[in-house]
Structure 1
Amino acid sequence: MAKFLIIRFSSIGDIVLTTPVIRCLKTQVPDAEVHFLTKQSFKSILAHNPYIHQLHLVNDDLGEMIQQLQALQFDYLIDLHHNLRSLRVKRGLQVKSFSFNKLNIEKWLLTNLKINRMPAVHIVDRYLQTISSLGVVNDGKGLDYFISKADHVPTNDIPTSHSAGYVGLVIGAALATKKLPLDKLKEICAAINHPIILLGGPEDKAEGDKIAAIDPIKIYNACGKFKLNESADLVRKAKLIITHDTGLMHVAAAYQKPIITIWGNTVPALGMGPYFGTQPGLQHSFEVAGLRCRPCSKIGYAACPKGHFKCMNQQQVPAIVATAHQMLGHL
C-alpha cells in the first residue's frame, strides 16, 4: 500500500480544482491511501469525498500538525500549494515529494507586462502533470463536489415561486475587482425573465437585499442564509449559474451546470476557468476586450488600481441577459 499526502491549504475554488488529482490517484494507483491536508475552515469542501482516507485540518499550529503527520509515515507528498507552509511540511516529513509549478514568472509577465507566456493548459491538467511520473492520467471526468443529505436544502426553504426552476446568480467574489458593481447586478436581475436565487456569503447579504428589492417575488436573496454545502446544493439544483470568478463557479462546473462567467480583473488565460473534463460542458464567458490594463492581478484588489474599473463597468448587460435566455431556452 502506498500512502499519499496531498497539500492544498486554500481556498474554495483552488481546493475543488484538486479533486481530479484525488480521484485519479485513488482509482489508478493500486491500494493507494490518500490523505489531504488543508485549513480547518475549508473542511466542508472535502469532508464527504469518498476518495479521501483521512482529512487533516490545520488551524494556527502547523508544527503540531507536522508532528501528527510524521507519525503516519507517508510514502509520498503531493504539494499542490507550493508555498512556505507546504515547504515546511515537506521538510518535516522528509519523504519523496512532487511539487506543483505555479508558473509565478509567467503570471507576473501576464499581469504586469501583459506578455502571455502562460501555457494553454487548465490548472487541473497542470495539477495532474505533477504526478504523471506515477502513471496517473486524467480520466476526463471533471471536478468532484460531494455533500451529505443533511446539506440538501429542503424544498420549503426556498420560495414556492422558485420550485419549478431558477437561475443561480453568484453576486459575491473574494475581492471587489472580481465582481460586478451593484447597478450592473440589478440590471441583470431586472432583465432576466426567470426566477433568480442570489448566492453568496454573509458579507453579500446587504447587497443581496438591495438587489432583491427590485422584485421580491422573482428574486430570492439566499446570501448568508445557508452554509457552503447548502449553497452548493442550491447550485446543483439551479438551471443555470451566472457567476464571477469565484469558488461557486468551480462548484457549478463540478455539477456540470450551464455557466455564464463574468470576468473582471482576472482572465481565463490564467488557467482557472470552468473545468468540465471531457464532458460537453455548456458555458459562455464575458470579458471586456481591448483593455490594456487587464489582467491587473492574478487574484484581485479591493478597488481598481486605475480608478475607472472598466473591466466591469463596461460589461454589456443586454448581451449577458440574451445569452442567459438563450441557454435557458435550450434546457
Structure 2
Amino acid sequence: MGDVAMLFPVLCAVLTQNDIKITLFTRPVFAPIFSSIKGLEVIGVDLKKTYKGPLGLWALAREIRALKPDHFLDLHDVLRTKIIRGYLGLMRLTTSTFDKGRAEKNKRVNAFDPASPWLISTHERYAKGFRALGLKVDLENLSLHSDLGVHSESTIEHGPGLSQEVLTFIKSLKTQSGRLIGFAPFAAYPGKTYPLDLSEKLCQTLTEQGHQILLFGAPGYEAQQLSALAEHQSNVHVLAGKWTFAHELEIIGALDLMIAMDSGNGHLAANFGIPVVTLWGATHPSLGFMPFGQEIERQLYADRGQYPELPTSVYGNKLPQGYSDLMRSISVAQIAAKVEEVLA
C-alpha cells in the first residue's frame, strides 16, 4: 500500500498545475486514498476476479482503450501492467512507464554508505513519469494539509471531510487531555515491525505524558495483538478491525502525529500533512521511501553499530541470522523524546 499512497501528492500536483483529466485504475481497496483529489476519476480494478489472467487483462485493456485517452502511464511497472501496455500497444494507444530505480537501489544496499547522497524519492520518480509527457509537476512547493478542521472543538463541527461516526469519535477524544497520536507498529516484514512488548511500553510512556494513542493495523491477527496490548491501558484506542478504511483515513487526518514503521500508515498520514515519526529497521529512507514532506530529523534508525549489514534489502524482506531483534535497538525513550520534540 505504501507505493500507492505515495502517488497521492504527485496526483495532487499534476491536477492542480495542469489543465488535464486523469483516470486512475487501482485496486478497489485503495480507492479511498484518492477520494479527496478534485478532478480525479478513480476506477477500481479487481485483478482476482473480473480481470484475472491474460484474458481478464485483455478485457481491462479494451475498457481503457474505450475511454479514448491520449496516453496510458504505467506507474506500477510489474508483469501485469507490462502485459496491459503490450495489449494497448496492439490497440495503437501510446504508453509509457517510469524508472523504479531497481538497479541503483540494489547497488546502494549492497554497498551501503550512509554518507552517500540519497537516491531520489519515489514521489519524484512518479513525477518524472508525468514530466516526460510534457506536464508540470512541482513537488517542492506543494503543501499538503488536513482540512478536516479537527484541532479544536469550535472547528470540529465544520470539518467538511468527516462522517458523523468519525466526528462523534474524534470529539469524544478531543474532550480529553493530551494530543492524538497514531501508532502503527506492524509492517509487511518482521525486520520492519516494532516488538509488541516495546510497543506496549511506548503506549504507557506516551499516555503517562497525557496523550491519547490510536492503534492502527490490519483486521485479524494484528487487530487481536493490538487489542491485547491495549487491554489494561487507559487512553489507548484500537482502531484495527473496527473501522472501514475510509473512516480510518478520516481519523488519520485528525491526528496530531503518527508513529509508523516503513509502511503504508506513515505515507497516509503524510498525505494529510501530519507529522510522522518513522522507525527504520531493515530498510533505510535514503532508498526513496521517506513519507512526503517529512524532515530527516523525524527518522529513527536501528543501530548500525550492532547491525552493520543494515539496510538488509530494499524492501526489508531479507533478515540475516542474528538480526531478529534489530528493531529493539530503537528504544522507547528515544521514540518518546522524538515525539515530544516534534509536538513542541
TM-score scaled by length of structure 1: 0.84
Is the Cα–Cα contact under 8 Å of residues 2 and 267 in structure 2 kept in the other structure? yes
Q: From the superposition, tell whether residues 317 and 160 of structure 1 become closer, same or farther in structure 2 (CA, over 3 Å).
A: closer
Q: Determine the structure 1 residue equivalent to 2:72.
A: 77
- Aligned partners of 2:213, 2:249: CA distance in 1, in Å? 15
- Aligned partners of 2:181, 2:271: CA distance in 1, in Å? 17
Q: Determine the structure 2 residue equivalent to 1:273.
A: 290
Amino acid corresponding to residue 241 of structure 1 in structure 2: M
Amino acid corresponding to residue 100 of structure 2 in structure 1: K
Q: From the superposition, tell whether residues 246 and 293 of structure 1 become closer, same or farther in structure 2 (CA, over 3 Å).
A: same
Q: From the superposition, tell whether residues 76 and 109 of structure 1 become closer, same or farther in structure 2 (CA, over 3 Å).
A: same
- Aligned partners of 1:319, 1:23: CA distance in 2, in Å? 34
| Residue pairs, 1:1-331, within 5 angstroms | 12-30=1-19, 32-60=20-48, 61=51, 62-94=57-89, 95-114=93-112, 119-133=118-132, 134-139=134-139, 140-142=141-143, 149-150=162-163, 153-156=166-169, 160=173, 163-164=176-177, 165-192=179-206, 193=209, 194-202=211-219, 203-215=221-233, 217-276=234-293, 284-290=298-304, 291-301=307-317, 304-328=319-343, 330=344
Question: SS of the residue aligned with 2:182?
Answer: strand
Question: SS of the residue aligned with 1:131?
Answer: helix
Question: SS of the residue aligned with 2:222?
Answer: helix
Question: SS of the residue aligned with 1:196?
Answer: strand
Q: Deviations over 1:18-43 (max 9, x none)?
A: 1233233333333x221111123322
Q: Identity of aligned pairs, percent?
A: 23
Q: From the superposition, tell whether residues 108 and 156 of structure 1 become closer, same or farther in structure 2 (CA, over 3 Å).
A: closer
Amino acid corresponding to residue 73 of structure 2 in structure 1: I
- Aligned partners of 1:240, 1:46: CA distance in 2, in Å? 21
Shift of 1:128: 0.8
CA RMSD of aligned residues (A): 2.8
Shift of 1:310: 4.0
Question: SS of the residue aligned with 1:327?
Answer: helix
Shift of 1:179: 0.9
Shift of 1:102: 1.0
Q: From the superposition, tell whether residues 226 and 196 of structure 1 become closer, same or farther in structure 2 (CA, over 3 Å).
A: same
- Unaligned ranges ≥5, structure 1: 1-11
Question: SS of the residue aligned with 1:266?
Answer: coil
Q: From the superposition, tell whether residues 149 and 218 of structure 1 become closer, same or farther in structure 2 (CA, over 3 Å).
A: closer
- Unaligned ranges ≥5, structure 2: 52-56, 149-160
Amino acid corresponding to residue 43 of structure 1 in structure 2: A
Q: Deviations over 1:160-215 (max 9, x none)?
A: 58755421111222222211111111121121122211111213112112221341
Question: SS of the residue aligned with 1:53?
Answer: strand
Amino acid corresponding to residue 211 of structure 1 in structure 2: L
TM-score scaled by length of structure 2: 0.81
Question: SS of the residue aligned with 1:183?
Answer: helix
Q: How many equivalent pairs are there?
A: 312
- Aligned partners of 1:167, 1:20: CA distance in 2, in Å? 22
- Aligned partners of 1:75, 1:322: CA distance in 2, in Å? 51
Q: Determine the structure 2 residue equivalent to 1:5.
A: none
Amino acid corresponding to residue 205 of structure 1 in structure 2: A
- Aligned partners of 1:19, 1:156: CA distance in 2, in Å? 26
Amino acid corresponding to residue 13 of structure 1 in structure 2: G
- Aligned partners of 1:146, 1:98: CA distance in 2, in Å? 34
Q: Determine the structure 1 residue equivalent to 2:156.
A: none
Q: From the superposition, tell whether residues 143 and 107 of structure 1 become closer, same or farther in structure 2 (CA, over 3 Å).
A: farther
